[in-house]
Structure 1
Amino acid sequence: MSETNHLQEVEPILSHYGIQPHFVEGFQKVKRIYSNKGIFALKKITPQQGTDFIKHIQFLYQKGFNRIIPIYPTLDGRYAVIHGKNLYYLMPWLPNEIKEDRNELHQQMFRELARLHTLSVREVTIDKEEKNVHYENTVREWDKENEFLDGFLAQCEGKWYMSPFELLFCLYYHDISQALRFSTNKFKEWYEKTKDDNKARVVLAHGKLSTEHFLYDDKGYGYFTNFENSKQSSPMHDLLPFLSRTLKTYPKSHEDCVDWIYTYFKYFPLRDDELNLFLSYFSHPHGFLAVVEEYYKSRNRDERKYVQKLQRHYWHLKNTEYIVMRIDEIERQKRLEKEAQAEAQSQGNT
């Protein structure tokens, strides 16, 4: 789109803010506006996204959460402008010039995420019957996955000559089976602790947590942006997708991820049952299983492609396994120290 077209597109929208644009740069759904009143970011969203977005932004403002990128009101007080078939809102353009190291940036983001969840947390009533059905269906599904793994292993081992994919699967089988068992056990622990409860905690989840959606001003303060996918949900809906994306690397010890998680826990600690559910979903090898099932059902197989996909998912599993085991060990050590303190206290009182 030419500069003239950009200006023609944004002028009627910016008139609601009393802003006259001089120059416009387009970045997909966001435009950088150079104007008579400074530099701004104008973002386009759908009207369907807009209703909850505005409601959630107003809620966080009322709660005193100040680490959302400011949304400027129009001259008549609205937080967004309808133009054509879209909704537009205006923000300052943050320079996002990163001076800290990567770990410090993530620490700050997880700290502010914990604050966001703390300010928005509330308890909701859940239907026990629905919870029981969810539990039974999930365990049944995971049992079927385990049966499929065992059946595919037997099929591979029964051949005179295995394909490269089948050989790799057999080498990885033990680790995958262990991950599925650990995930299922944690899920069952969660259920045993909560089966008689009809309450659960929900927060306002950002919905698309990313370092690309946590921007920095010229003073080094970080602000969340892109709240269009925010919703009342479990804290895990922010944590798990971000961690999963981060761990899609070659195998390595992601100790920095453990630090980020415990930075979050410091400001928003998960309850024991929530931690069990978090570890269960986090450790479940769903990506690996999906590749094996896809290979099993495929007729025209690109062996090389499937081997690469299986290896990538195995690396992801091993990276996840390291963090899950570290968290499990840290929490076990905390419990032992707590029990030792309680025992020492009881002996001191006798």
Structure 2
Amino acid sequence: MSDSNRLNAVAPILKHYQVEPYFVEDFGKIVKVYSNKGTFALKKIVPNSGTDFIRHVHQLYQKGYNRIVPIYPTNDGRYAVLHDKDLYYLMPWLSNDVKENRKERHQQLFRELARLHTLSSKEITVKKEERTEHYEKTIQQFEKNQEFLTGFIEECEKKTYMSPFQLLFCLYFNEIVQALSFSKKKFEEWYEKTKEQEKARMVINHGKISSEHFLFDEKGYGYFANFEDAGFGSPIHDLLPFLSRSLKTNPKRNDECVDWITHYFKYFPFKADEKLLFYSYLSYPLPIIQVVEKYYRKQNPKNELKFVQHLQHQYWYLKNTEYVAMRMTELEQEEQTKEGAPPQ
């Protein structure tokens, strides 16, 4: 699209803000607007996403949390403009010149996430029957996973000549089962600790935590952007997707991730039951189980090379999450020993 066409495309939208664009640049779903009133970011979203996220942003502002890239209202008070079947909203353009190194950038991100969760946290009522139902369904899923893994390895071991995938699965089997057992154990401990409770802590989750959605101004302060998936829920729902993406690497001792979580816990300490649930979800080896199930269901001929690669990548992810979960529990036990408290 030519520069003049870009200007013509956004000008009707910006009229609602009394902003006259001089020049625009495309950055994916965001348009950088140079105008008579300064530099702005114009974001496009699909209408069925709605603008519920703006309500969450306002709630955070009301609670005193202001490290959010502000959303400007139109002249008539709306926070989004419907134009050509898309919704648009306007924000200031942040320079995002990162002076901090990667470690400091992520530490600031997790500190601000902890503040966001702290200021928005509230207790909600949870019926005992609902908690029990969730527990029973989840335990049933654990048992189905265990049954499938056991059945599949028995089938593999009956083969005179295993396929490359089957051989690799047999090598990984014990570690997959150990991860599943650890996850199930932590989940059972969580239920034992909470089965008589009728309250649970919820926060406003950002919904898409990412270093790309944490922008810096010219003073070096970090601000969250892209709240379109924001909603109330357990703070675990913000942590796990971020960690999942970060741990999808070659196998390594990822102490960086451990540092991020530890830094977050300094400012928003998890309760004992929240930690148990966090460790259970973090260590649950569902991705590698799903690869095995897909292989099992796939009709011949199978692409062995592709399946072996997928299995190996998910095994690396399993080992990375295992290290983080184990290291976190070790640090927790060390801290409890220092304080003279019995391990939880």
TM-score (norm 2): 0.96
Q: Quick check: 1:261 aligned with 2:257?
A: no
1:84 aligns with 2:88: no
Q: Is the 8 A contact 2:95 2:216 kept in 1?
A: yes
Instruction: Report how far residue 335 of structure 1 moved.
Output: 2.5
Q: Counterparts of 2:230 and 2:152 in 1: how far apart (Å)?
A: 40
Q: Does 1:26 align with 2:26?
A: yes
Aligned 1:195-274 pairs, distance under 5 A: 195-274=195-274
Q: Would you say the 8 A contact 2:213–2:226 is kept in 1?
A: yes
Question: Match of 1:335?
Answer: 336
Aligned partner letter, 1:146: Q
> Structure 2: which 5+ runs fail to align?
none
Q: CA deviation at 1:99?
A: 1.9
Matches of residues 82-231 of structure 1 in structure 2 within 5 Å?
A: 82-231=82-231
2:318 counterpart of 1:317:
yes
Cross-structure match for 1:344: none
Give the letter for the 1:297 counterpart: R
Code of the residue aligned with 2:240 in structure 1: it is L
Aligned position for 2:281: 281
State the SS of the aligned residue for 1:116: helix
Give TM-score, length-normalised by structure 1: 0.94
Q: Which amino acid aligns with 1:318?
A: K
Residue 308 of structure 1, CA deviation? 0.3
Structure 1, 240-249 or 58-67: larger mean CA deviation: 58-67
Within the alignment, does 1:326 sit opposite 2:333 as a pair? no
Q: Give the Å deviation of 1:339.
A: 3.1
In the other structure, the counterpart of 1:40 is 40
Quote the offset at 1:86 in angstroms. 2.4
Residue 17 of structure 1: aligned partner = 17
Residue 78 of structure 2 aligns with an amino acid whose one-letter code is: R
The SS at the match of 2:51 is: helix
1:56 alignment partner in structure 2: 56
Higher mean alpha-carbon deviation, 181-190 vs 156-165, is at 156-165
Letter in 2 for 1:303: E
> What one-letter code is carried by the residue in structure 1 that aligns with 2:117?
H
Alignment-derived partner of residue 296 in structure 2: 296
Distance 1:260 1:12 in 2: 43
Q: Distance in 2 between matches of 1:236 and 1:257?
A: 15
Report the more deviating stretch, 152-161 or 238-247: 152-161
CA distance in 2, matches of 1:65, 1:47: 27
Amino acid at match of 1:335: Q
State how far apart, in whole Å, the 1-side matches of 2:71 and 2:136 are. 44
Cα distance between partner residues in 2 of 1:318 and 1:340? 30
Report how far residue 4 of structure 1 moved.
Answer: 2.1
Q: Distance in 1 between matches of 2:46 and 2:131?
A: 33
Segment of structure 1 superposing worse, 145-154 or 236-245: 145-154
Structure 1 residues 150 and 7, CA gap change in structure 2 (3 angstroms): same
Matching residue of 2:307: 306
Deviation at 1:81, TM superposition (A): 2.2
- Using the aligned pairs only, state the percent identity: 61
| SS in structure 1 at match of 2:24 | strand
Instruction: Give the C-alpha shift of residue 17 in structure 1.
Output: 1.4
Give 1:340 deviation, angstroms: 5.6
| Counterpart Cα distance in 2 of 1:315 and 1:248 | 8
Matched residue of 1:17: which SS?
coil
Residue 271 of structure 1 and its aligned partner are, at CA, apart by 0.4
Letter in 2 for 1:174: N
Aligned counterparts of 2:82 and 2:61: Cα–Cα separation in 1: 22
Report what 1:346 is aligned to: none
Deviation at 1:7, TM superposition (A): 1.3
Paired with 2:200 and 2:291, the residues of 1 have a C-alpha distance of: 33
The Cα shift of 1:166 comes to 0.8
- Deviates further, 47-56 or 147-156: 47-56
Q: Is the Cα contact below 8 Å between 2:255 and 2:324 reproduced in 1?
A: yes
Name the structure 2 match of 1:348.
none
Q: Deviation of residue 29 (structure 1)? A: 1.6
- Map Cα deviations across residues 196-217 of structure 1 (whole Å, 9 max, x no partner): 1111011000001111100111
SS of residue in 2 equivalent to 1:40: strand
User: Could you say which residue in structure 2 is the equivalent of 1:345?
Assistant: none
